[in-house]
Structure 1
Amino acid sequence: MAAEDTASTRLGAGRQHLRPLKRRGLVLLRLTAIVFAVLLFCEFLIYYLVIFRCSWPAVKTPADAGGLGTPEPVLRAMFLADTHLLGAVRGHWLDKLRREWQMERAFQTALWLLQPEVVFILGDVFDEGKWSSSQAWADDVGRFWKIFRHPPHVQLRAVAGNHDIGFHYQMNTYKIKRFEKVFNPERLFSWKGINFVMVNSVALEGDSCDICSGAEAELLEISHRLNCSRELLWWLRPRLVLSGHTHSACEVLHGAGVLEVSVPSFSWRNRNNPSFIMGSVTPTEYALAKCYLPCEDTVLTTYCTAAGGLVLLTLVHAGLVASPFHFGWNMLRKFKTT
């Protein structure tokens, strides 16, 4: 009998010893699940939730106005600007990792949800292209194609900005050719009967420099191909001018009655909420809409709230703080007894 009592005592002690371990394991499992859920939401799901609210703007066609004939095809185009991929000189590795992940998730999510046919990046693709070495340039280009990878049926076109080839007094033929080797150098891009003229605005200084004269001659040749008059805006007659560099979505109406829209920055490094422009374009009409990306303040607030909750749960488990549930239940009991 004594031996049986001893065995029972040891078994009971062993079970009591295992209970705290199981409790700790459950708490650790819950904390891990919360961390995983917060990371999944902030680094993946939030892009779908925000971009899902964007939709292509409706554009009027002759068929909508009661006209006869075949409806005009509508081209769906995304316009991005100022991605500013950080380089080897000014780009801290942690900042690069964070910003490039944000742009990659935003771009890939937009491709999947919105299904654009053409994507335009309007200058300042890279942050340090104006002074980067050949090796640094190759590294930046490799990271760009990883972030902005796209299926073959989607066209991606980019124009150079001052951060890609330097300001007017810094640019040279080598930097321009290096940029054009990565991106298609054609100035006139046509799709579904719509003409897009890709302009290197850095070369439009008007001081007759060699590069400037060459850029102006290219535009003049395009104007002849499109049967335009030299007296019209930029020797062309565009219905809409889209530009980057200002990091905002302001609008300017030129004297010729042509609207210029500045495409906002796609990078979280600027002070404004990152966004891009969605365009529904036909040969005769167009409609634009702005699509915002997740606000970084929302992500940071979510992380801070989750961190505070994890700290509170840890303190409650350690017995340093009373459980909010028990505290609320005790307060309710006291209220009922009074």
Structure 2
Amino acid sequence: MHHSNPRMGLTVGLKVLSLVAIASLLVFEEWVSTPACNLVDPFEDPKFEDDPENLKVMLVADLLLLGSESGYLSVFFRDYYISKFFRKSFESLKPDLLLVLGDVSAKGSELTRSKWTSVLQQFYQILGPFVDLPFHAVLGDRDIGDCSDLDLNKVNWISSKLPGLDPSGCGAFEINNISFVTLNAVALLCGNNSLRFGIEKVIERESLEFLDETGGINDSINTTDANYNFMWRVHSMPSGSGPVILLHFPLKQTGNQRQGGIDTLKRSPISLIEGLNEVSKPREHIGAGLYKLRHTLPQNASEYILRALKPRIIFSAHSHSFSDHVHFDQTREITVPAMSWNARDDPGFVFATFQKTGRAISISYCSLARESHILLVYISIMVLFCFFCLKG
């Protein structure tokens, strides 16, 4: 008479359980890596939504990479999942352009060139399929420092390592007949700084080119206060007829929150995950003067940009949260949330679709998986597996 071996049955059961757990994890990883995107406002005419001539742009911010200073949690968990987020976003959304709105590095202003190189290597590894796609990066305060230690040579070197930036950290490019202008907003926070004067010249140059192309009438109005001296360029072109503006710091918010859009998404309550964040502390050593008090551009600098460039739309970052704001002249500003678990438990990004044959822009807010939820799944599977092992 044949008797079954309980130990052999347990071994087979554990093998089956292991295979099921591994298969479930693979399915879970593919599912959880896919972004969930919600339209803030679709095109008025739905037929424009899927027009192949439209320009589709993915905008991310605040990656806060640590390069060679990354801990095990970043190297084996966070970087792995952020890479999957980029890959699945690329596969599901099929963007034409990637824009990174500053703070690529968590501590870039403190790093030597060799350590900055390790951050850039980490950055390109995470981008995955986006490396072969046109992309453009903006400088943030964590990348180049604050007003007290802003170094022109360092800004020049970092700018040379990112596509499309001039030595001052600004840039201008055109794709699908849509013009983009990048501004080094960090320098605009500083008072009497040579780099800030260079940014003003870029704004003036872009304003003049805009006037030459459109034939607008212009005049200059001087405004002076204790910290800023801007020559506002006034012209007859309507608001929204200029380029798309990209910068790290948001403009000073005047006007009203956009009606019908998604209100500013509040940061998640502090959880156990926050204790694991390597750069979750508030910004320290922020510097002196206005920079210490404001995490937006000053009102004069904000109005200077709006009046001189008449932006079609503005994309900014820095606050780590999504917001949709309309300024006094009806210029719309979208603030892109952080796409990093180093910043918040619930990262996200923005997906914008530009109508090539018109002026319409469709905005989507895309959310990504919470780090706490993914860790909870891993811990639950490990606990169940240990339970079955001990039970045997």
For the criterion TM > 0.5, the same-fold answer is yes
- Structure 2 unpaired stretches of 5+: 219-232, 235-302
**d(CA) in 2 for partners of 1:151 and 1:277?**
16
**d(CA) in 2 for partners of 1:199 and 1:103?**
27
Does the CA-based 8 Å contact 2:338-2:344 persist in structure 1?
Answer: no
Q: Which residue matches 2:309?
A: 236
Aligned-pair distance for 1:300?
A: 2.5
Of residues 205, 208, 231, the one that matches 1:221 is: 205
C-alpha offsets along residues 242-261 of structure 1, whole Å, 9 cap, x if unaligned?
A: 11110001233322221222
**d(CA) in 1 for partners of 2:41 and 2:130?**
23
Q: Which residue matches 2:176?
A: 192
C-alpha offsets along residues 75-109 of structure 1, whole Å, 9 cap, x if unaligned?
A: 100110001012445x4233343221121110011
Q: Which residue matches 1:256?
A: 329
Equivalent positions of 1:18-167 (< 5 A) are: 19-48=5-34, 51=35, 58-60=42-44, 73-89=53-69, 91-150=70-129, 154-167=133-146
Does the CA-based 8 Å contact 1:190-1:196 persist in structure 2?
Answer: yes
C-alpha offsets along residues 8-37 of structure 1, whole Å, 9 cap, x if unaligned?
A: xxxx8xx76x83453243023123213313
C-alpha offsets along residues 30-63 of structure 1, whole Å, 9 cap, x if unaligned?
A: 2321331343244444213xx2666797434698
**d(CA) in 1 for partners of 2:368 and 2:53?**
28
Change (3 A) 1:253 1:272: farther
Q: Which residue matches 2:162?
A: 183
Question: Match of 1:242, as an amino acid?
Answer: F
Q: Which residue matches 1:291?
A: 366
**d(CA) in 2 for partners of 1:293 and 1:95?**
17
**d(CA) in 2 for partners of 1:223 and 1:45?**
46
Equivalent positions of 1:1-16 (< 5 A) are: none
Does the CA-based 8 Å contact 1:57-1:278 persist in structure 2?
Answer: no
Question: Match of 1:47, as an amino acid?
Answer: S
Does the CA-based 8 Å contact 2:312-2:331 persist in structure 1?
Answer: yes
Secondary structure of the residue that 2:204 maps to in structure 1?
helix
**d(CA) in 1 for partners of 2:36 and 2:315?**
24
Change (3 A) 1:38 1:122: same
Of residues 51-60 and 156-165 in structure 1, the stretch that sits farther from structure 2 once superposed is 51-60
Question: Match of 2:16, as an amino acid?
Answer: R
Question: Match of 2:61, as an amino acid?
Answer: A
Secondary structure of the residue that 2:8 maps to in structure 1?
helix
Higher helix share: 1
| Number of equivalent positions | 294
- Structure 1 unpaired stretches of 5+: 1-11, 65-70, 319-338
Aligned-pair distance for 1:302?
A: 1.8
- Greater C-alpha radius of gyration: 1
Identity of aligned residues (%): 23
Does the CA-based 8 Å contact 1:81-1:121 persist in structure 2?
Answer: yes
TM normalised by structure 1 equals: 0.78
Q: Which residue matches 2:281?
A: none
Does the CA-based 8 Å contact 1:240-1:259 persist in structure 2?
Answer: yes
Does the CA-based 8 Å contact 2:67-2:120 persist in structure 1?
Answer: no
TM normalised by structure 2 equals: 0.68
